[in-house]
Chain A
Amino acid sequence: MLSIKNLHASVEGKEILKGINLEIKAGEVHAIMGPNGSGKSTLSQVLAGNEAFEVTSGEVTLNGENLLELETEKRAREGIFLAFQYPVEIPGVSNLQFLRTAVNAMRTHRGEDEMNAAEFMKLAKKVSQQVDLDPAFLKRGVNEGFSGGEKKRNEILQALLLQPKLAILDETDSGLDIDALKVVSDGVNALRAEDRAILMVTHYQRLLNHIVPDYVHVLAGGRIVKSGGRELALELEERGYSWLGVEDEEAAAH
C-alpha cells in the first residue's frame, strides 16, 4: 500500500530524514519508535504533506501513485490521515461543522452525495460515543478549550469518521492517563481492517500493549536502524536504545 524509498527531507535547511525505506501492506500495523529528535514526527508530517518540510530526494507511493506530487488535501482525499501530536484549535468553528466539511470533501472526491446536517449529526453522535466523548463536544469550537486527552480522542473520532486507507498516529499516547489510553487504543483497534494500514509513531512501548503491532521499526538519526516484530519493542523497553548504538538525544541533553 505505502512504499517509501530512500526518503530525504529537511526543515529550514537542516536534513532530518536521511534515507528512509519502508514498505507497509494493507491490513498491517507498524510502529515506529525512537529517541526524541530521531525524525519520527518529521516522517509523519512529510507523509501528510506539511509544506514546512522539504523533500530533497526519494519517493513515496500510495497504491502505486506518487504521493509527493499531491497537495496536502489531495493526499487526505486519497486516504492519508494524520492524527496530530498537538491538535490545533480553530476558535468559533464548531467541531460538527469542521467534521462535516471534511467528511463531505472526501465524499465529493469519491463521487458520493454530501451528507446533510441531520444525517451527519446522527453519525457523529454515534462515533463520539465510541471514543467516550460527550456529543456536546461536537458543538464546541474545534479543539477549543479541550483537555489534552479530549484532543487526542477528538483525533481518533476524526479517523473513525473519515475511514482512511493509511492512518498515521503521531504520539497519540502522549499525555494520556491509563483510562484515556484505553479509550484511544480501543478506537484505533476499531480502525484495524483488511484494507487499511496503521502507522504508529510513539516514544513509549506501553501503547503497544494495547495496540499490538505487526512490525516495529527503530528510527534514529533520520534512518531506520532496526526492524523487527512486536518483541523488538519489549526489548527496547528493557534495554533502551544504546545497545543499537543510538544515543537518546533527550537523555544526552540531561
Chain B
Amino acid sequence: MATTDNEVKELIKREYEHGFVTEIETDSFEPGLNEDVIRRLSEIKQEPEFMLNWRLKAYRRWLEMDDPTWAHVDYPRMDYNSISYYSAPKKKEDMPQSLDEVDPELLRTYEKLGIPLHEREKLAGVAVDAVFDSVSIGTTFKDQLAEAGVIFCPISEAVQKYPELVEKYLGSVVPAGDNFFAALNSAVFSDGSFVYIPKGVRCPLELSTYFRINAANTGQFERTLIIADAGSHVSYLEGCTAPMRDENQLHAAVVELVALDDAQIKYSTVQNWYPGDEHGKGGIYNFVTKRGACLGDRSKISWTQVETGSAVTWKYPSCILKGDNSVGEFYSVALTHNYQQADTGTKMIHLGKNTTSTIISKGISAGRSSNAYRGLVKFQPGAEGARNFTQCDSLLIGDRCGAHTFPYIESKNKSAIVEHEATTSKVSDEQMFLCRQRGIDPEQAVSMIVNGFCKEVFKELPMEFAVEAGKLLEVSLEGSVG
C-alpha cells in the first residue's frame, strides 16, 4: 500500500542521536599493526611479561588466519594496517585520581549519553566502568564493591593487580586463536572490564560498562572477563554508542564469562553503535566474540541482547554447559534498517548431564536491511538428559528487507531433547489500520507492535535497560510499516 510504504520510509529516516564527536586531545598510535605496535601497547600499559607473550602469540596466530566469510553479511575486506590500535584521551598530568580530575569535556560526553557518573548513578544503584575509545576513565562505587569483596576494574588494572586470576582465566573460554577477530583482539586489546565475584557473594550492585568509540580511524578492541566464583551472583550491563562518521570503524571485542558451581551471571547488552546513514554509508563493523563457560554444577549464564546499531553485526553470545545441571540462556532482539546487516545468534554446547538451554531470538528487519539468526545447539555424548528450547521469530517491516534463519542441531546423545519453533510475520496492514482507526499515530503503532513482538526478551532485561531498549526501538524505527 502506498501510504504505508511512506510510513515505513518516515520511520526509518530518523537520525542517529548519539552522533556527536567529543573534541579532546588524544594520544594515538599511527595506523598500522606489527609486533612493535603490540610491544609498545604492552609497555604503555606496564604489563607483565606473560601478557606481552600472550599477545604476541595471538598476533602470530592471527597472521595465519583469514577474515571469516561464512556469515550472511557483505562488506569490503578491511585494511588492518589503516587502523590505529591505541587511542587514549590525553592526560593533563598523570592518571586522574578522582572524577573531579577527569577532563570535563569527557564528562559532558557522558552527560549527553545520559550516563552521569555522579550522584544520579548512585541513586540508580549502578556502578559504571566507562570505556572511552580504549581506556577506562573512572570506575564508580569501587569502595562499596570492595566491601563485598567484588573486584570491578579496568582489565588493564587487573593485569597488574590480579595477574594470577587474569593469567588463569584470560583466553580460557575464548582461546586466542578461536577465530580471526578474537585473535586480533587478543593481540591488541587495549582495555575493557574485569569482574571477580568471590565465593557466595551476591554482587550488591548491577555492574555496568558504557563503551564509546570517539576518535576517527580507531578500532575498539575491548576485552571483558567476568569470573563468578562458587555460589555467587552478578548482573552486568553494557551499553555502546559511537559518533557518526562516514568511514567504517571496527569494533572487535571479546567477552569471556566463567561461572563456577552454583554461580549465576546475567549479561545484558544494549548495542547502539552508529549504524551508518540511510544510504548505507559509514557505521561500525561490530565483530564480537562472546562466550560463557558454565564450568560448575548448577551454574547459570544468561545473555540478553538488544542490537539496534552497527552497519554490520557478527555476534554469537554462547554458552558452554560443562557443569551438570547447568543452564544457558540467550534472549535477543536484533533490529536492522536501511542497509544494516546482522548475522547473530548463539551456540549452546551441552557437555554436562541434565544441562538445559533456552534460546529466544526476535529479529526485526526494515528498510533494505538483512537480518539473520544463526544458531548451533550441540549435545555431546556426556550430555545425558539435556534439553534445549529454541524459538526464532522474524518480523518484517516493508517489503525490501530480508530475514533468514540458520539453525543447526548436532546431537551425539540420544536422550537429549530439542524443540525448535520459528515464525516469520509482517507488521500487517490490518494491524496498522486497527491502531490508526483508534486514533493512534502510525509511528506509535509500529513501535507498539514491535515492542509487543519483543516482549519476551524485554522482560529479561534489568528495569532501566528495558525502558532504554523500548525507547531505542522507537528511535530506530521512526516511521515504518508495509
**CA distance in complex: A50, B456 (Å):** 31
Contact indicator A90/B431 (Cβ below 8 Å): yes
Contact status A52-B1, CB under 8 Å: yes
Q: Which of B429, B444, B453 contacts A52 (CB 8 A)?
A: B429
Q: Is B3 on the interface with A (CB-CB < 8 A)?
A: yes
Contact B449 A90 (CB under 8 A): yes
In the complex, which residue of chain A has the Cβ closest to the Cβ of B362?
Answer: A92
Give the distance in Å from the alpha carbon of A162 to the alpha carbon of B456 in the complex.
Answer: 30
**A51: contacting residue among B4, B428, B434, CB under 8 A:** B4
Check B448 against A73 for contact (C-beta < 8 Å): no
Interchain nearest-CB distance for A239 vs B (Å):
36
B451 and A93 within 8 A (CB): yes
Chain B residue at minimum C-beta to C-beta distance from A75: B437
B298 to chain A minimum Cβ distance, whole angstroms, is 32
A51 touches B1 (CB 8 A): yes
- Docked pose: A91 CA to B456 CA in angstroms: 11
Which of chain A's residues have a CB closer than 8 A to the CB of B91?
A: none
> In the bound complex, do residue B440 and residue A92 qualify as a contact, i.e. CB atoms below 8 Å apart?
no
Verify B439–A73 contact, CB threshold 8 A. yes
Q: Say whether A101 contacts B448, CB under 8 Å.
A: yes
Shortest distance between the CB of A81 and any CB in chain B (Å)? 8
Q: Which of B3, B433, B444 has the most CB of A within 10 A?
A: B433
Q: Does B146 contact A (CB under 8 A)?
A: no
Assess whether A92 is in contact with B430, with CB atoms less than 8 Å apart: no
Q: How large is the interface on A (under 10, 10 to 19, 20 to 34, 35 or more residues)?
A: 20 to 34
Chain B interface, number of residues (Cβ within 8 angstroms): 27
Q: Is B453 within 8 A of A51, CB to CB? A: no
Q: A51-B1, A73-B442, A101-B444 are in contact. Are A82 and B437 (CB under 8 A)?
A: yes
Task: Output the nearest chain A residue to B1 by Cβ-Cβ distance.
Answer: A51
A105 engages B441 (CB within 8 Å): yes
Bound: A206/B430 CA distance, A: 28
Report the minimum CB–CB distance from B456 to chain A (whole Å): 8
* B448, A93: Cβ atoms closer than 8 Å: yes
State how many angstroms separate the Cβ of B11 from the closest Cβ of chain A. 15
* A106 vs B453: C-alpha distance when bound (angstroms): 25
Given A51-B1, A72-B433, A87-B434, A92 contacting B452 (CB threshold 8 A): yes
- The one of B436, B444, B449, B452 that contacts A76, using a Cβ cutoff of 8 Å: B436
The listed residue (B429, B435, B444, B453) touching A91 by CB distance below 8 A is B453
**Interface pair A76/B438, CB less than 8 Å apart:** yes
In the complex, are the beta carbons of A90 and B436 less than 8 A apart? no
Decide: A93 and B3 in contact? CB cutoff 8 A: no
On chain B, the residues within 8 Å of A106 by CB distance are 439
Q: Does B159 belong to the interface (CB within 8 Å)?
A: no
Given A87-B434, A88-B434, A101-B444: A76 and B451 interface contact (C-beta under 8 Å): no
CB of B412 closer than 8 Å to a CB of A = no
**Assuming A91-B452, A92-B454, A93-B448, is B434 touching A73 (CB within 8 A)?**
no
Q: Let me know if A241 is at the binding interface, CB within 8 A.
A: no
Any chain B CB within 8 A of the CB of A8?
Answer: no
Give A185 to B199 CA distance when docked, in angstroms: 65
Complex contacts, B463 vs chain A, CB 8 Å: none
> Which residues of chain B (445-468) have a CB below 8 Å from chain A?
448-449, 451-456
Q: Take A93-B452, A97-B448, A98-B448 as given contacts and tell me if A105 and B4 are in contact as well, using a CB distance cutoff of 8 Å.
A: no
Q: Shortest Cβ distance from A99 into chain B, in angstroms?
A: 8
Task: Closest A residue to B429 by CB, please name it.
Answer: A52
**In whole angstroms, how far apart are the Cα atoms of A72 and B7 in the complex?**
13
Name the CB-closest residue of A to B427.
A90
| A158 and B438 contacting across the interface, CB-CB below 8 Å | yes
CA of A158 to CA of B434, assembled, Å: 11
- Per-position binary interface string of chain A over residues 63-76, scored 1 when its CB falls under 8 Å from any chain B CB and 0 otherwise: 00000000111001
| A residues in contact with B430, CB < 8 Å | 88
Residues of B within 8 Å of A97, CB to CB, are 448
A137 to B96, CA, bound (A): 57
Q: Does B2 contact A (CB under 8 A)?
A: yes
Nearest CB in chain B to that of A78: its residue:
B439
Q: How far is the CA of A105 from the CA of B437 in the complex (A)?
A: 11
- The answer to whether A48 touches B439 (Cβ under 8 A) is no
Question: Using a CB-CB cutoff of 8 Å, which residues 414-438 of chain B contact chain A?
Answer: 428-431, 433-438
A109 on the B face (CB < 8 A): yes
Q: Find B439's partner among A90, A93, A105 (CB 8 Å cutoff).
A: A105
Neighbouring B residues of A102 by C-beta, 8 Å = 435, 438-440
Q: A73 contacts B441, CB within 8 Å?
A: yes
Whether B441 pairs with A92 at a CB distance below 8 angstroms is no
Q: Does A148 contact B (CB under 8 A)?
A: no
Nearest chain B CB to A170 CB, angstrom units: 11
Question: Would you call A50 and B433 a contact (CB within 8 A)?
Answer: yes
Considering only residues 183-222 of chain A, those with a C-beta below 8 Å from chain B are none
Q: Which 7 A-B pairs have the closest CB atoms?
A: A92-B452, A93-B452, A102-B438, A105-B439, A76-B439, A72-B436, A92-B455
Report 10 cross-chain contacts, Cβ distance below 8 Å, ordered by A residue.
A48-B433, A73-B441, A90-B434, A91-B453, A92-B452, A98-B435, A101-B440, A102-B435, A105-B439, A109-B439
Q: A49-B436, A101-B444 are in contact. List 8 more A-B contacts (CB 8 A).
A: A51-B3, A51-B433, A73-B441, A80-B437, A87-B434, A98-B448, A102-B435, A106-B439
Task: Name A's B-contacting residues (CB within 8 A).
Answer: 48-52, 71-73, 76-77, 80-82, 84, 87-88, 90-93, 97-98, 101-102, 105-106, 109, 141-142, 158, 162
